[in-house]
């Protein structure tokens, strides 16, 4: 143990944790400053979202309107929503977040897709194909 101000003793782990916290905060601040000045990441993110929406629409999947980077896909049933997520993970090794009541009203259960600037065309194509496969297998409603 090492003495600190005020006579309190700190363990080595406490001192290391305090140092790591400062480094993490400095890194976060540098990231925020970079993103305030750079449009590259934001434009790439918006392009990835648009591409995912386009691919899902072409596959006839029921995407819901969204002004954000979140791409909701309507399932409409809590059991089928869970089953779709389970199949995506078990059969396609893709984790997707289910959104169920009480977060959304009953009957509007959905999958929450959140593409990032780092998702490739191949990633998006694989997701669209996996979702189409799950929709076929579970006999889920397609877009009108």
**Domain boundary assignment for the chain:** 2-37, 40-138
Residue 71 confidence (pLDDT) above 50: yes
Contact between 71 and 61 under an 8 Å Cβ cutoff? The reply is no
Mean residue pLDDT across the chain? 89
Percent of the chain clearing pLDDT 70 (strictly above)? 87
Range 63-87 average pLDDT? 96
The answer to whether 111 touches 73, Cβ cutoff 8 Å, is yes
Is residue 76 a contact partner of residue 69, using CB atoms and an 8 Å limit? no
Q: Which tens digits make up the pLDDT trace of 85-124?
A: 999 999 999 999 999 999 999 999 999 999 999 999 999 9
The contacts of residue 132 (CB under 8 Å, 6+ apart) are 59, 60, 61
Considering the entire predicted model, what is its pTM?
0.78
User: Mean pLDDT, to the nearest integer, of 46-52?
Assistant: 97
User: Half-sphere exposure (CA, 13 Å, Cβ side) for 86?
Assistant: 8
Considering the domain 40-138, what is its CATH architecture? Alpha-Beta Complex (3.90)
């Amino acid at each position: 143990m090492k003495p600190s101000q005020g006579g309190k003793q700190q363990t080595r782990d406490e001192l290391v944790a305090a140092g790591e916290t400062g480094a993490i905060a400095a890194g976060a601040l540098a990231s925020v400053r970079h993103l305030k000045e750079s449009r590259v990441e934001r434009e790439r993110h918006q392009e990835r979202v648009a591409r995912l929406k386009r691919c899902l629409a072409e596959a006839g999947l029921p995407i819901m309107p969204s002004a954000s980077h979140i791409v909701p896909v309507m399932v409409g049933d809590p059991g089928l929503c869970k089953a779709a997520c389970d199949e995506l993970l078990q059969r396609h090794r893709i984790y997707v977040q289910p959104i169920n009541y009480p977060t959304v009203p009953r009957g509007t259960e959905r999958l929450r897709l959140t593409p990032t600037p780092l998702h490739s065309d191949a990633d998006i194509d694989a997701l669209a194909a996996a979702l189409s496969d799950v929709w076929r297998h579970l006999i889920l409603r397609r877009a009108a």
